[in-house]
């Protein structure tokens, strides 16, 4: 609802919104243009008269070809995918059980346990990576995907737990009580009655966990060392930047392709994603 003359709508609404969208999306457009731009056009100084920043005259797939043929990119994608799926599965499993216990059951120290889990959510990875690297080495997990699959849940579980607690609280207790009167055990009431109702919450927690795992960087950087074990972010950083030389075309191609899985998942489930942020903020 915007009152007043038409120009007011332009000045106070259309123009600012257009600038926001342009500013927020431009880097992605830049990624795409760079990916298909041949080196001859890519390395043309911005002062040069024939600098055409926003389009390319001779699009090429060379950079993508280099990325797929000459680097371990597809391997990194598989690694990242496997790690993200496994870490998400573990986190959802733990988060579901813990979220149910904290929102539904009465037991000593329930409140302080909930607070404790909340606090661990706020411990950033950059605080722990040095001692954790030592522990990972001692457990002989260094340079294996398990180093990440087991450590990512530490920041995913608290998140899933808190998000799901909100969902569980909204489910009426009577549902469960009816099942219990009909002879269901606590376990059965939880798995067959409460969990199915919480599916939207499980989905949004899962999407969040997956995108957060795909995004993680410092643990992957510190715990993995051999090229064939790396995740996308780390692989690109270490293999397409050699000293001062940046393989910009392939680097942008890698950034683009590495973003596709999260962007796809996100576009399918955007409503759950937004609902997830909304829930976690309000809760």
Partner 1 sequence: MAVDSVAAARPYVAAPRRGPITRVLEHEPWFAFFLLLPTAVLLGLFIAYPFIKGVLLAVTDAKVGVPGNFVGLQNFAVLMNDSIFRIAVWNTILYTAVTTVFKLALGLWLALLLNRHFRAKALTRAFVLLPFIIPTVLSTFAWKWMFDPTFSVINWTLFHLGIIRTRINWLGDPGLALISVMIVNVWRGVPFYAISLLAGLQTISPELAEAAAIDGARPWQRFRYITWPLLLPVTMVVVLFSVIQTFADFQLVYVLTGGGPANATQLFATYAYQIGVGTGLLGEGAAISLAMFPVLLVVVVVQLLYIRRVETH
CA distance 25 to 3: 29
The answer to whether 171 and 105 are in contact (CB under 8 A) is: no
Q: How far is the CB of 2 from partner 1 (least distance, A)?
A: 7
Closest to partner 1 by CB, 59 or 283: 283
Nearer to partner 1, 23 or 196 (CB): 23
* Min CB(220)–partner 1 separation in Å: 10
User: What spatial distance separates the first Cα and last Cα of the chain, rounded to whole Å?
Assistant: 29
Nearer to partner 1, 70 or 188 (CB): 188
**Nearer CB in complex with partner 1: 209/255:** 255
Using the 8-state DSSP alphabet, how is residue 227 labeled?
G
The count of other CB atoms within 10 Å of the CB of residue 254 is 29
From CA 37, how far away is CA 276, in angstroms rounded?
38
**Structure tokens belonging to residue 34:** 């760079």
- Residue 74 or residue 215: which is nearer to partner 1 going by CB? 215
Residue among 20 and 192 whose Cβ is closer to partner 1? 20
Tokens of residue 70, six digits: 């000459």
Residue 37 is classified by DSSP as -
Q: Do the beta carbons of residue 80 and residue 214 sit within 8 Å?
A: yes
3-state secondary structure of 207: helix
The least CB distance from residue 173 to partner 1, in Å, is 14
Q: How far is the CB of 69 from partner 1 (least distance, A)?
A: 20
Smallest gap from residue 101 Cβ to partner 1 (A): 4
> Of 74 and 120, which CB lies nearer to partner 1 in the complex structure?
120
Shortest distance, position 228 Cβ to partner 1, whole Å:
19
- Helix, strand, or coil (residue 129): helix
| CB 148 to partner 1: min, Å | 11
Contact 13, 2 (CB under 8 A): yes
Structure tokens at 277: 């942020």
Tally of CB atoms within 10 A around 227? 14
Q: Cα dist. 233→12, 236, 274 in Å?
A: 39, 6, 25
The distance of closest approach from Cβ of residue 281 to partner 1 in the complex, given in angstroms and rounded to an integer, is: 5
Contact by Cβ (8 Å): 101, 157: no
Nearer to partner 1, 64 or 90 (CB): 90
């Amino acid at each position: 609802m915007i009152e007043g003359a038409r120009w007011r709508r332009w000045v106070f609404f259309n123009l600012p919104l257009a600038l926001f969208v342009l500013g927020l999306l431009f880097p992605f457009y830049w990624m795409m243009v760079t990916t298909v731009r041949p080196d001859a056009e890519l390395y043309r100084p911005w002062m040069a008269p024939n600098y055409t920043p926003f389009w390319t005259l001779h699009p090429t797939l060379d950079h993508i070809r280099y990325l797929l043929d000459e680097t371990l990119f597809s391997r990194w994608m598989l690694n990242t995918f496997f790690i993200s799926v496994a870490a998400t599965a573990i986190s959802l499993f733990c988060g579901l059980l813990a979220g149910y216990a904290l929102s539904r059951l009465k037991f000593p120290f329930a409140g302080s346990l909930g607070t404790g889990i909340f606090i661990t959510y706020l411990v950033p990875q950059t605080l722990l990576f040095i001692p954790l690297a030592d522990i990972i080495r001692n457990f002989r997990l260094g340079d294996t995907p398990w180093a990440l699959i087991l450590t990512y849940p530490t920041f995913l579980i608290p998140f899933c737990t808190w998000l799901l607690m909100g969902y569980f609280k909204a489910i009426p207790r009577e549902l469960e009580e009816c099942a219990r009167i009909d002879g269901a055990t606590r376990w059965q009431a939880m798995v067959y009655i409460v969990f199915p109702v919480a599916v939207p919450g499980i989905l949004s927690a899962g999407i969040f966990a997956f995108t957060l795992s795909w995004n993680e960087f410092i643990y992957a950087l510190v715990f993995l060392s051999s090229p064939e074990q790396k995740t996308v972010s780390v692989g690109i950083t270490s293999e397409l930047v050699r000293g001062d030389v940046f393989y910009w075309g392939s680097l942008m191609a890698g950034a683009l392709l590495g973003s596709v899985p999260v962007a796809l998942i996100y576009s399918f489930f955007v409503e759950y994603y937004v609902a997830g942020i909304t829930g976690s903020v309000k809760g």
